[in-house]
Amino acid sequence: MKKTDSKIKRSAGSIFHRNMLLVSMFVLILTALSLIVYITLNNTMMNSQIKLMEQREIERTATAVNLSVDQIAVAGMYFSSIDILNYSQSFSVENYYQDRITEKSVDSVLAVLDAVKAVSIMNGGKTFGNDISPGLRSFKGESFGTVRGMSVYITENGAGHSLLFKTEDDEEGYRRNTVYMSVDINVLSGYVFEKNSDNRTCFVVNSGGDVVLSQQNHNVGTDINGIYGFTVFDEKTGNQGKRLKGYEVSVRKIDFLDWYAVSVTKSEQYASNIRQNQINTFLLCLMLLTVGLVSSYAIFRITYRPIRDIISMVNKYGIPELSEANEVEMVGKRLSELSFAKSELEQEIKEKVTAIRQHQVIAMQSQITPHFVNNSLDVLNWIAYRNLKTRNNEISVAVRKISEFLQFVLNKRDMFCTIREEIEITGVYIDIINVYFKDAYQTNWDVEDTILDCDILKMCIQPLVENAATHAFNNSCDDPQINIVIKESNGNISVSVKDNGCGISQEQLLKLRDSVNDFSAISVKHIGMKNVNQRLKFLYGAEYGLYIESEEGKGTVCGFTIPKQL
């Protein structure tokens, strides 16, 4: 049976179990998809953040170049607008001091702008400043652009590269002071570029990719693509904000000049940030998966428990077939069966209530007969006394005993009485039969005093004594005796009525037992014993009831055993 129950538990609820597993799998898949989307977006955001950081760095470099070049150009435009007098025409103290002011201005610019190494201001034959070499004055290279009216060139000499700022004629052809400013590229690079990590290098290149400014001075004039061995900068296609062979490359156009700021950063620069981000992402994924698994299991347990309880409750009223794996169909089938069983029970209850009411009516009607008989017996008693002139005549004694017997039945409405009371009423019946049989029987009682006040089924001994007195003896029996024994044993009370009569054959004994146990048949034979047997089984259970033993020539024993406490 236990093995069958285990199979039922495994089969019952399997559809719901499967559905909940599908829901759990859906939750896990949804969690996994969410994690994939998160990882993708996180990587995109990480790349965007890296690009933004690189863009900020290149913007700073471009801004520094613009400011530095603009400062130099402002100084050059100032020098180009100074009024320089021709001494051959006039000379005065005022002109002298004006010349001194101009010279001091040049000295101030050289002191403030360390990158400017030489300044020449020319107007006719007059020259101010520290004169630059004649070769720079006659330089005819290609300009990189004009800043505040000053063209910018790059020159090369034995000492290295330098920048040349030169004023140009205005649109009307008016020739101002001609200004030449030589700028040291190395010093200017120190202003433009901050000290970066070993993984980042910044450049300023021209449109052809040649380095104009660099943190490493030896790179000036070198093709930037040649430095790295692959295309870092291409003016036509552009590699702005791209990742190339383990490098982050950012490019920014310099205002007014045909220059570009280029930042080349090794991916190692952000390796620690990427690694930490990967660790955080892994921990987050692990946490979400754990939460998803725990949530799915909790949802499964919380949702499945009521279904399991319903299935267990339904199984109490009928074991389901092992083939019923669909618990919904199983519960529906069981509920249908329970509904049908409920209807049958209601019908049965109605029938029993009707039968009980009929028995109640019959019982109330039966109360009338004993009262009538009792009153009639009282009349007979007085008739016998009037005719026989004595109260102790046989008729009066028998009538009084019968009346006393009926009074006990009428007044004692309960199903139980004490053993003492049952002995008394049985003694009354024995007195009645002694009147009839002229004291032909000897009755012996063997009763334990400790159980006299215990309850016993009312009128359960008298029918057994009546059966013995009526059927046990014939005229050939000598010294007929009826022995009544009431004992207690192991919490039970046993009652036996034994006679020493003629007994009956085994065939008759079997018929007697069948008659006593057949409650459906209506018969007047052995009605008292059948009544006692039926009441014992109804009150104490089917395992209780009368037992009858008999042997021809030795007598018959009839008795029963009941619990001491109901």
Question: What is residue 375's predicted lDDT score, i.e. its pLDDT?
Answer: 61
Mean pLDDT by runs of 10 across the 566 residues of the chain is 45 60 76 78 77 84 88 82 59 64 72 76 68 61 80 77 79 65 84 74 87 84 85 68 73 87 81 76 79 76 72 62 56 76 87 77 57 62 65 72 72 79 87 76 90 90 88 79 92 93 89 84 74 88 90 91 87
What are the domain boundaries of the chain? 1-325, 442-563
Res 4: pLDDT: 44
How wide is the angle at C-alpha 224 spanned by C-alphas 220 and 226, nearest 5°? 110
> What number of other Cβ atoms are within 10 A of residue 311's Cβ?
20
Residues paired with residue 176 on neighbouring β-strands, in sequence order? none
Distance of alpha carbon 470 from alpha carbon 464, whole angstroms = 10
Sheet holding 442-447, edge to edge: 442-447, 481-489, 492-499, 555-563, 547-551
Q: Say what the pLDDT of residue 115 is.
A: 78
Closest to 469 measured CA to CA, from 503, 509, 433, 419: 433
pLDDT at 13: 52
Strand partners, 154: 163
- The DSSP string of 205-269 is EETTSBEEEESSGGGTTSBHHHHHTS----TTT--TTEEETTEEEEEEEPSSBSEEEEEEEEGGG
Q: Calculate ∠ Cα 157-162-168, nearest 5°.
A: 110
Locate 417 and state its tokens: 């009485």
- The sign of the CA dihedral 530, 531, 537, 538 is positive
Rg (alpha carbons) of the chain, rounded to whole number: 65
- Nearest CA to 482 among 415, 420, 557, 408? 557
- What values do phi and psi take at 247, rounded to 5? -125, 145
Q: Which residues contact 419 (CB under 8 A, 6 or more apart)?
A: 447, 451, 452, 453, 454, 455, 456, 486, 493
The pLDDT score that the predictor gives to residue 2 is: 44
* Cα dihedral: 302, 308, 309, 314 (round 10): 160
Question: In the structure encoding, which two tokens stand for residue 17, read together?
Answer: 């179990």
pLDDT score recorded for residue 9? 47
- Class level of CATH domain 442-563: alpha beta
